[in-house]
Amino acid sequence: MNSNIYKSTSLAYALSFMLILFLGFNAQAQIKNGIISGTVKTSDGNPAASVNISLKELNRGTFTNESGFFQLKNIKEGSYTIIVSFVGLSTQEKAITVTAGQTSTVEVTLTETAGKLAEVVVTGAKGVNKKPVTIGKIEIAPMDLPQAVAIVDSKVIEQQQVNKLSDAIKNVNGVTLGTTRGTTSETFIARGYALGANNIFKNGARSNSSVIPEASTLEQVEVLKGSSALLFGNVTSGAVINMVTKQPKFNFGGEVSMRTASYDFYKPIIDVYGPISKKVAFRAISTYEHSKSYRNSIESERIYVNPSILYKITNKTDVLVQGDYLNADLTPDFGIGTISNGETSSIPTTIARNSTFNAPWAYNKAKQTTANATVNHQFNDIWKLNGQLSYQNFDRNYFSTERIQADRNGDWDRTLTRTKTNENYYTSQLNLTADTKTGKIEHKLLVGADAERYNNITYTFKKFVAAYDKINLFEPSKYTLRTDMPVTSDSLRTEVPTNRFGIFVQDLVSISEKVKVLAGLRWSYQKVITGDVYNLASGNQTKTTTPDKVDKAFSPRFGVVYQPLKSTSVFASYSNNFVPNSGVDINNNNLDPSTIDQYEIGVKNDFYNGRLSVNVTVYRIVNSNLAQMAQFKADGTANSDANVKELTGETTSKGVEVDVTGTIAKGLNFIAGYSYNDMRYTKTLAEQKVVGSFFEGDRLVNMPAHTANGTIFYSFSNSLLNGLRVGFSSFYTGERNSGWNNTYGYVPPKSPKDQPKNRLFAVDGFTTFDLSLGYTYKKLSILGKVSNITNELNYIVHENYSVNPIAPRQFTTTLAYKF
């Protein structure tokens, strides 16, 4: 560690230590007040989660957790009335007396059974602006947070029969689906930025995104929009996505279900949970999935297991251990590709939606194993500690034809790609939180540190010729196609480790009931280490030619929240994040990371006691030091090396997002949203005629300007139709450019086989509609869905060679039995 790193680390530790001492000293004054804690159960003894608990006299409240537990801190000595309420349930009141320095307890039993409560939960729960997200690392209600937050909860996941992460994300406006080469995984785009592996989390730990995650274990999906670099370091500006999985419970239960769908899709799911002892509970989820496709010769098979154990060591300490294993085997699918007329590319829309052009033996085999241990400890009524250790291994074995880019007559020279990778993630984090006061000013303090090691192993193959054969997209019988699979063998193994470390401090200061200020700072360190190359035949070991690369950055965050009413919150915030850059500067030093500034304002509203939430956010994100090819070398001569760069470019992303969620009537749930995004190059070197420079004013590819979503579900509760539910959803993705953004100095093609002159092509917008119908009788339920009712045809495009038609009209049915 060099002196600059040492100084930065020491400074951050010193600031954190002084802040902890200051708040800890002032927290002693709170001992004079008392605490109210308790549990809420159903009439059959099961815990009741998400029940609203409030004090009539102080207008303060909270919600019960999954164990039915709640706690209200820092209550002055005196007599109070506890109000227990839930949308659709009868309200109860309990009298309680608080004594200074003591904890007063209360137990509440609802008149409803667990089964009845489960039915009521469908009709409504606490609003989205009241639910803290675990990805935030500290319990802050979104109403108090100067940042846009979206939650897709278990009710939506169940009602929409979510089978992939993208099915859930469709309900988050402003986040759109992208794709990868061969559709082997899912990627997402938010606020003009692609969300890579650094932005996808599972239970708060960074997760590999090179395989489609299993959705059967999702309890909810959390999305923090905009920059979250203070909490996670090297993440892009668009958003972070956290998959929260189902956890053990201390009451026995579970569900057995069978999901079937069009194209030979079937998926049995088993979910069992319950107590092992008074302090230990378990949960086990297992699925098997088999599916063909609307695309010819495309198949998928998946096996998934997810065990977890919760150990409540004491009333103040618990340990949660989770693990999962996924074995996914699918056929790579590059869709219908593009054709070139010598000037531009275009999608060959005359090709049938079900046409495929891969070799019959092509495969993508992926295995992913995850282990995660989380410890929660409450030192006292003020201080809490959360620690987490996580390990994930991802193994991929891939062999396929590649990149469908055909001539104007449909001829395409098929080439092959053979890859094998193994990735290991070791992550850890420690978060210390405090809910305290300095005088009359309240603090929600978060101090934390995290460290990661990522080891990427790739293989090179010998006895391998990329050229395979020639086919014609329009006339499959024009050429004789090869069907044999070439023999390959490993030649080299390359291992490249990456180390990350960060420390941060954040404080939400409640200056008054109406004014809150959130401020924080993070210091991040990242080092990509020179890789080792192993010759598998000779056993020799060498180093890669890439030297060590170190990136360091401070990431500040500041926001102000003004609440003129308890149901309305207006906020403004600034934050930034950093993006490591490849290449070197004109002095042959590693290029510094780019710093991206985000400005955001918004308003959050709750109406009808939280049953309707309407949130509006406006943002502007500027990368004012975008890396681009340097115009001159250090000696002043013209530069022609694309690896020599300078931080002189700029992109600007600006937009607006509108979110509406609610349960304004018994049994009626809905989610709706609209977003507009304008992401463009706003400063380049094209006017200076620098070869390779992007053009100012060009919109970045794969960034739709307009997106929208809407879902409504209604559950009948009258005696005649009790148990019946119906739902309707629509999703809109606007027009966007695909291909590659054009650059100055691009050489026109010499023949139709060369790349086209204009590398951009437009893809029309599209809207899909889904209809659901279900019925529940006691413990048995059946739910059916027709998706893409109008059989809309459109495409998801990765650059200009993986062009995949969206799914046509399909039918899905889930038969489930809960016990």
Q: What is the DSSP letter of 590?
A: B
Length of the chain: 819
323-341 residues labelled b (16+ CB within 10 A) or e (exposed) = ebbbbbebbbbbbbbbbbe
In the chain, which residues fall in CATH 2.60.40.1120? 33-123
Half-sphere exposure of 540 (CA within 13 A, CB side): 4
For residue 166, report the phi and psi dihedrals to the nearest 5 degrees. -65, -30
What SS3 state is found at 663? strand
Q: How far apart are CA 694 and CA 705, in angstroms?
A: 20
Give the residue ranges of the chain where pLDDT is below 70: 1-32, 59, 66, 87-90, 112-126, 747-757
Q: How far apart are CA 26 and CA 764, in angstroms?
A: 60
Q: How far apart are CA 234 and CA 574, in angstroms?
A: 17
Q: What is the DSSP letter of 531?
A: P
Contact at 8 Å (CB) between 692 and 646? no
Residue 64 CB contacts under 8 Å (≥ 6 apart), including other chains: 39, 40, 47, 48, 49, 50, 51, 53, 70
Query: Strands 265-275 and 253-261: what pairing?
Result: antiparallel
Q: Kindly calculate the radius of gyration of the chain based on its CA atoms and give it in whole angstroms.
A: 28
Element (H, E) at 383: strand 383-402
pLDDT at 253: 92
For residue 759, report the phi and psi dihedrals to the nearest 5 degrees. -90, 0
For residue 623, report the phi and psi dihedrals to the nearest 5 degrees. -100, 95
The amino acid occupying position 625 is N
pLDDT at 25: 46
Distances from the Cα of 191 to the Cα of 27, 467, 613, 677, 702, angstroms: 40, 39, 22, 6, 11
Other C-beta atoms within 10 Å of 264: how many?
Answer: 11
**pTM score, two decimals?**
0.87
pLDDT at 4: 45
Name the burial class of residue 73, with classes exposed (0-12), middle (13-18) and buried (19+) by CB atoms within 10 angstroms of its CB. Answer: middle
Q: How far apart are CA 26 and CA 73, in angstroms?
A: 16
Element (H, E) at 610: none
Which residue in 305, 329, 307 sits closest to 211, CA to CA? 329
Residue 631 CB contacts under 8 Å (≥ 6 apart), including other chains: 638, 639, 646, 685, 688, 690
pLDDT at 64: 84
Q: Report residue 517 as tokens.
A: 């200020």
Contact at 8 Å (CB) between 523 and 554? yes
What CATH number should be reported for the domain whose range is 130-243? 2.170.130.10
Contact at 8 Å (CB) between 628 and 664? no
The CATH number of 244-818 is which of 2.40.170.20, 3.90.1150.10, 1.20.120.450, 3.40.50.720? 2.40.170.20
Half-sphere exposure of 284 (CA within 13 A, CB side): 4
Hey, which residues does 562 pair with through a beta bridge? 515, 570
Q: Is 33-123 a domain of CATH 3.40.50.300?
A: no
pLDDT at 654: 96
For residue 176, report the phi and psi dihedrals to the nearest 5 degrees. -115, 160
In the chain, which residues fall in CATH 2.170.130.10? 130-243
Contact at 8 Å (CB) between 77 and 113? no
